Amino acid sequence: MKTKYLSKVLRYLRKSIKSWPIPVLTSISYQQNPFMVLVGCLLSLRTRDEVTDAASKRLFALARTPKKILDLSQEQIETAIYPVAFYRNKTSCLYEICRFILNKNKGKVPDTLDELTKLRGVGRKTANMTLVLGHCKLGICVDIHVHRIVNRWGYVQTKTPDETEAVLRKKLPKRYWKEINNLLVSFGQNICKPQSPYCSKCGVLEYCKQVGVNRNR
C-alpha cells in the first residue's frame, strides 16, 4: 500500500468502526484519566480485550487513583484483575508505579515517552497509549494489530512492533498518529484477524497486498 491511499483507507475505517465494539482502552480513555489509561494498558498486555475489560472494571470499582490502589491489599488487587496474564507480576508493577507517581512525580502520571518507559512494566506500546489516550499528546501506539495489519498491507516490512513504530514515525503522516491504533485495533478484531481474515468483507482489500495471508474468508 502506498501512502497516497491511506486517506481513503482510514476514511473507510472511521466509518466502519461505528458498527464495531469499542476497544477497551478507548473506552477507558473516555474517563479522561491518564492513570486509568496507564493501568488499563498494563492489564491489557498479553490479555484479550474482554478479559481486560472485566478486570479493569472490577479494579476501578475499588480504586481509581494511585493512593487508593496502595490502600488495597495484594490479595484484593490480584482477585480483582484475575485472570489477566501475569496478574501477580502486574500487581507488583502497579504498586511500584503508584509509589513512584506519589513519591517522586507529585502525584502525576509522567507525560513523556522517556519518563513513562522508565516505569516498571511499561514498554513503548503502553507508554505511547498513555500519551495518546491519557494525555492527548502525539504518539504512535503499535500493538500486535497495528504491526500485523500495516505489514499485511505492505505499507511496512518489519519484524517487530518496535521496529514498526520506528518506521511509522518516519513514514506515516503525523495527522494519523493518534488515531491509527484505535482504527487498526478495531479493524483487526473484527475484519483483519490474525488467522483467516475476512477479506470478502473488507472494504479496503483493493489497497492490500495480503502479505502472509494464506487463507481467508
Q: Give alpha helix (H) positions in 45-173.
A: 49-62, 66-71, 74-81, 87-104, 113-116, 124-129, 144-153, 161-171
Which pLDDT score, from 0 to 100, does residue 2 have?
86
Would you say 180 and 197 are in contact if contact means Cβ atoms under 8 Å apart? no
Q: pTM for this structure? A: 0.94
| Matching residue, cell 475484519 | 191
Look at the domain 3-21+140-207 and name its fold: Endonuclease Iii, domain 2 (1.10.1670)
Query: What are the sequence ranges of the domains in the chain?
Result: 3-21+140-207, 31-134
Average confidence (pLDDT) per 10 residues, the chain, 217 residues: 92 96 95 97 96 98 98 98 98 98 97 97 97 97 97 97 97 96 97 97 97 96
Q: Which grid coordinates belong to 170?
A: 518516519
Which pLDDT score, from 0 to 100, does residue 3 have?
85
CATH class of the domain comprising 31-134? mainly alpha
